[in-house]
Amino acid sequence: MRNNNESVKDSLIGFNAWLEDMPNAMQRFRNSLPIEVEKDLDFSLQSLNTLEKHLIATYENIQQLRALPNASRIADGYAIYIGETFRNVLKDYQPNLWKLMLEEDNVFYNLPVIEINGYTGCPLSLTTACIDRQKGDYWSNILLYVKKNI
């Protein structure tokens, strides 16, 4: 039987491997997008709207995305881009980093989150939430709110 320390250690090893692969994952994600979307991805507030509109135009609901054999890779690409964009737009605030949520009572337990000057958010949950909301500016509105309030 594994103890909690071993589980945390394994989670951290996986998280660190994910961080190391992030540049490659970002390139794979960008390569999977239509050129008219990819060309606008500059880690700006406006680029979030371009990407979000593409996501909601591609998937009517989260079940469509989850049904794909590579769903986790697709969702991960969106989450990385969202997180890196938040970090870029809020680059003047510290801390400004990715971390693994290890608080067991947290809804984002064992997921990568961004921590920026008191704000903690889970880009993966933002990815799935925008599909349900079908707005086109959900991510950028959250980012604007965070920027105004940190």
Beta bridge partners of 112: 100
Q: At what angle do helices 45-58 and 71-89 cross, to 10 degrees?
A: 160
In the block, tokens 């999977």 appear at 32
Q: What is the pLDDT of residues 21-77, one digit of tens each?
A: 999 999 999 999 999 999 999 999 999 999 999 999 999 999 999 999 999 999 999
Domain that holds residue 103: 4-149
Q: What is the pLDDT of residues 75-110, one digit of tens each?
A: 999 999 999 999 999 999 999 999 999 999 999 999
Structural domain total, the chain: 1
Look up the pTM and report it. 0.95
CA dihedral over 77, 61, 124, 92, signed as positive or negative: positive
User: How far apart, in Å, are the Cα atoms of 42 and each of 88, 95, 102?
Assistant: 10, 22, 31
Sheet holding 119-121, edge to edge: 96-100, 112-116, 119-121
Asked whether 98 and 113 are in contact (CB, 8 A), the reply is yes
